[in-house]
């Protein structure tokens, strides 16, 4: 318990808010934590400060044939609302069995538990049944373009399975929605504000677009773990002044999509909703800011059983299979690298991105035990 708490605290204490990121600032903490296990570490830095670490744990029986397990975790965290926290977000404290701090649940606690699992195994007098490679990556919170996506593009993701210790309260996440972020600019015709019907208000038309898109039914068949796709209009700005009919209005749409939906299909579905908003002669532009495919792993894949059995052995509870309504870096591992990935970590996703974010100390300990069991068994199963 002391080890996983102290490592989590050390990681949370490093401010890696994204933007701007600066994952290089936490590299020393990660290197020090992995050093007792003889890790060989390489750095990937596609932009200044945006560092990912690839750490290979040497096996005592070099040369023998074993599968490779990847542990993928992101080092960046989301911003904080200054003054809204009861605890300093980067001065982590433990109170009433909870470790408070930005990134404690999402997901520095999970990374710490996975590293500490190596020590658990060593103290038990065991060696891993697999080769283990840690991918401690940048930029997940802003889409992964400077992190796991770089690893995928450069062909650096090699393994037989991947564990992603994002917060699931140790449930097994095998599916997640994809993400389309689109900028929609609605155009109008300016005029004097005292004569609102002599021009065309982009704000008025954009309001119709919002009502047509936000929380709309896109007609997709619901997924058994992910439900129906969603759309959220999360930003809006428009007009140049109160006394001028608005010439333009800008919206940012966050659309979550199901496995099998392509970028072209997601955009087409969004356009259909926009163009059905009831505005005659609507003029607008749509530009894709981010697209990430949905991903899933077959529930019958053997690695699902490996992780599920480890959770049951360590905690006495058989974990449920779940889906996530949001995206993680598991999508790059599954879709681009073709490696089966299960997301399973300490902490509740309800704590992610919140004020006074916390993770239960007991769940950090449970997670370390679960991961040690995975390290000990992956590769020894028939």
0.85 exceeded by pTM: yes
Burial level of 157, CB count in 10 A (0-12/13-18/19+)?
Answer: buried
Residue 97 near residue 360, CB atoms below 8 Å? yes
Tokens read off for 302:
């053997």
Query: Does 40 lie in the same domain as 142?
Result: yes
Nearest to 309 by CA among 298, 319, 299: 319
User: What pLDDT sits at residue 382?
Assistant: 45
User: What pLDDT sits at residue 82?
Assistant: 85
Q: Report the domain count for the chain.
A: 2
Look up 76 and say whether it is catalytic.
yes
Catalytic residue among 23, 131, 139, 140: 140
Q: In this predicted model, what pLDDT tens digit does every residue of 240-288 receive, in sequence order?
A: 999 999 999 999 999 999 999 999 999 999 999 999 999 999 999 999 9
Domain's final residue, options 260, 292, 324: 292
Query: Does 339 lie in the same domain as 231?
Result: no
User: What pLDDT sits at residue 63?
Assistant: 67
Query: Does 200 lie in the same domain as 59?
Result: no
Look up 91 and say whether it is catalytic.
no
User: What pLDDT sits at residue 288?
Assistant: 98
The domain that holds 159 is classified in CATH as 3.40.630.10
Query: Does 95 lie in the same domain as 215?
Result: no
Q: How far apart are CA 140 and CA 209, in angstroms?
A: 30
111 φ/ψ sector (left φ>0, alpha ψ -120 to 50, else beta): alpha
Catalytic residue among 76, 166, 169, 296: 76
Q: In this predicted model, what pLDDT tens digit does every residue of 207-246 receive, in sequence order?
A: 999 999 999 999 999 999 999 999 999 999 999 999 999 9
Q: How far apart are CA 56 and CA 59, in angstroms?
A: 9
Q: How far apart are CA 114 and CA 153, in angstroms?
A: 25
Residue whose pair of structure tokens reads 């163009």 in the numeric block: 275
Domain's final residue, options 243, 266, 292: 292
* Residue 381 banded pLDDT, cuts 50, 70, 90: low
Q: How far apart are CA 366 and CA 374, in angstroms?
A: 12
Containing domain of residue 266, as a range?
Answer: 178-292
Compute the C-alpha angle 231/232/234, nearest 5°.
Answer: 155
Helix (H) or strand (E) holding 213: helix 202-213
Q: In this predicted model, what pLDDT tens digit does every residue of 30-40 receive, in sequence order?
A: 999 999 999 99
Residue whose pair of structure tokens reads 């495919």 in the numeric block: 293
Backbone angles phi, psi at 319, to 5 degrees: -80, 150
Residue 348 lies in a domain: yes
User: What pLDDT sits at residue 45?
Assistant: 98
């Amino acid at each position: 318990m002391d080890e996983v708490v102290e490592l989590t605290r050390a990681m949370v204490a490093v401010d890696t808010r994204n933007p701007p990121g600066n994952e290089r600032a936490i590299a020393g903490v990660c290197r020090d934590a992995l050093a007792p296990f003889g890790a060989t570490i390489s750095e990937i830095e596609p932009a200044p400060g945006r560092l990912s670490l690839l750490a290979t744990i040497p096996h005592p029986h070099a040369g023998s044939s074993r599968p490779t397990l990847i542990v993928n975790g992101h080092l960046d965290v989301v911003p904080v609302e200054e003054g809204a926290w009861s605890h300093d977000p980067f001065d982590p404290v433990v109170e009433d069995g909870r470790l408070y701090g930005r990134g404690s649940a999402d997901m520095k606690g999970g990374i710490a538990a996975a590293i500490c699992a190596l020590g658990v195994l060593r103290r038990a007098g065991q060696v891993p049944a697999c080769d283990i490679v840690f991918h401690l990556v940048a930029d997940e919170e802003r889409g992964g373009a400077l992190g796991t996506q770089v690893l995928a593009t450069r062909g650096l993701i090699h393994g037989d399975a991947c564990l992603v210790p994002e917060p699931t309260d140790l449930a097994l996440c095998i599916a997640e929605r994809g993400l389309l972020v689109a900028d929609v600019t609605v155009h109008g015709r300016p005029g004097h504000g005292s004569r609102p019907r002599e021009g065309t208000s982009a704000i008025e038309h954009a309001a119709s677009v919002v009502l047509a898109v936000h929380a709309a039914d896109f007609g997709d068949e619901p997924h058994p773990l992910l439900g129906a796709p969603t759309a959220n209009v999360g930003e809006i700005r428009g007009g140049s002044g109160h006394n001028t009919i608005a010439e333009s209005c800008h919206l940012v749409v966050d659309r979550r999509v199901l496995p099998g939906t392509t970028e072209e299909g997601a955009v087409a579905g969004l356009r259909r909703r926009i163009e059905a908003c009831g505005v005659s002669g609507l003029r607008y532009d749509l530009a894709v800011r981010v697209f990430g495919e949905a991903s899933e792993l077959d529930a019958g894949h053997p690695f699902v059983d490996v992780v599920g059995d480890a959770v049951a052995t360590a905690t006495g509870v058989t974990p449920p299979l779940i889906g996530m309504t949001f995206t993680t870096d598991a999508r790059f591992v599954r879709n681009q690298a073709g490696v089966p990935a299960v997301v399973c970590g300490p902490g509740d996703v309800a704590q992610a991105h919140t004020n006074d974010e916390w993770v239960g100390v007991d769940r950090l300990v449970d997670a370390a035990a679960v991961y040690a069991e995975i390290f000990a068994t992956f590769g020894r199963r028939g």
